[in-house]
Every structure is written in C-alpha cells, then in structure tokens.
Structure 1
Amino acid sequence: MSFSCFIKLFVAAIVISTLGSYAIQLVGLDTIHPSSLFASGLTLGTIFGGLLVALYPSKEGAGTATESGTSNIYVGNLPFNVGQEEIKNLFSPFGNVVDIRLVKDRRSRRFKGYAFVEMNTPNANAAIEHLNDTDYAGRTLRVNEAKKKEDS
C-alpha cells in the first residue's frame, strides 16, 4: 500500500469522526463522552476510508507495465557523469517522464551507467524505438523495456 493510500485513509477517518461527533450532538446523544465519540468515529472512519482506498486506488504506478498505463524503460551504457536532468531532457521529446531512477553502486555510491525511466506506454514505446542504438555523449545507448525484477 502506498503512502497516498495511508493519507486517504487518515483523512477519511478524521473527517468521518468529526462529522460523527457533530451528528451525535444533533441527534441528542451528547451525554456520551466526547473522546468516546471521537474514538468511535475514528474506527468508522478507518473502515470507510479502507473502502475508499479499495474502491478508488491511487493512479501512481511503479513497475514495468502498470495499471495506470506506464512502462519502465531500461537505459544502459550511459556516461558515468550523467544526471537525472540530462536523462529527462533526452526522453522529454517523446512525452512526459514520470520517474527516473539512477542505479548506483551500494558501496561506492557511484553511478553504474544505467537507469530506469518511467513514461506512459505509448510514449515509452516511441522513446525506445527512437533512442535505442543511438549515440549519446560518445556512447551507444541501449534502450528497451525493463524486465520485471525476479525474486531471489
């Protein structure tokens, strides 16, 4: 579950608990302690918020081909001094770049020479078709759809 799902759930719980406490006062059950009302509202809000999250999932995606219509592109043989901005400029002519992940060595924290770019699927296909085997800063780029990461 993503962070935005937790935010939706939390907001729904607070809103429903607040509305519930006002509704109880209107109905005439204001003899119940306010903290009990708020706790009951939080419980109901969490239940309804969970339903909200389940019925209206977040549209942000991660992975190769996601439900939101984005694809993950592998970009290899990049110069070691390239940054996210240069990669974004390289892919932007083909459409909106959703995410860029530069892969770094765990020990040295140095860029390994490849990255993953997430774009809308039609734009990603065009970028792959046009950028694969092209020269960039004296290096021949390898651009293709990223393979799904297999669990070890």
Structure 2
Amino acid sequence: MAGSLEAAVLIGVAGLATLFSMFVVRYRDMVYASASLALVGLASAAILGLLGFPLVAVFLVIVYVGAAVMFIIVSVSMLGGGGREEWDDWRGLAAAAAAFSTVILLGFVGGLWQLYTAPQPVRLDSIALILTRDLYPVIIVLAAGLAATILEGIAIARRR
C-alpha cells in the first residue's frame, strides 16, 4: 500500500513539474515566469526527495529559489513594475480550491499524515564532516554557480 501511495505522489509531483514548466514558457511576464521556474525547481526537488536523494533535493531548492528570486529582481529592475496585469478571480479561486483539495486528499484520505516523523536532533559537526569529506566537489561547483549568478545579476542591473 505504501509503495503505491509513493508512486501516486511521485506521478502527481511529476505532473505538477510538467505543468509549471509549461507556465515558464507560456507566461510573457518575467516575474510570473520566474515564479513558475521556482515552482519547477520545488517540484523537481520533491521528486528527488521521494526517490531518496534528500541532500540533492535541498541544494536544488536553494539554487532554484535563489535563481528565481534573482530573476524576479533583475526583471523588475530592468523592465519596471508597471506592466499590465490581467485579473481573473475565478482562476485564482480554482487554483486555491485545487491546492486545498490536493492537500486534503493526500493528507487525510491518502494517509500521508501517518508518514510524518518528528525531527531528530542533528549534530552540526557530523553535517560539516559529511559536507567537507564527501561532497567537497559538489560544494565547489555550487558556490561557483551561485557566484556567477550573482555577478551576472549585478552586471545586468548596472546596465540599466
């Protein structure tokens, strides 16, 4: 039963990742496209976490959310915030109802709340040892990528 529930959740999250990636391409407003990119990153991180790679999922969340915030800041600073926005109250209500029903369906009906375990205390020296011993090359590449993103954002913002 638990395996089929995990497979269903994995398929659902993969569908959300596909949907959000279509939003990235569809939206013409850079702020909405960047927010959709952050949601793609969160869904991808959820997939990796469900597959058993929680550390990679955490780094993916950090990078995608950081990159999306950077894209939003750069696009607002370059283009200004005075774009036309179209409001559709029913679409927002439908999205909120879908999100609420998904949480209720997975949490209570699907029994996902039973999988929760209380957080265990973690020693910081053991985390530091794992990061410096096993993941040193990954941290170097991650730091270089984040530094390049920040420098690129600064260079684009200064051109304005």
TM-score (norm 2): 0.25
TM-score (norm 1): 0.26
Greater Cα radius of gyration, structure 1 or 2: 1
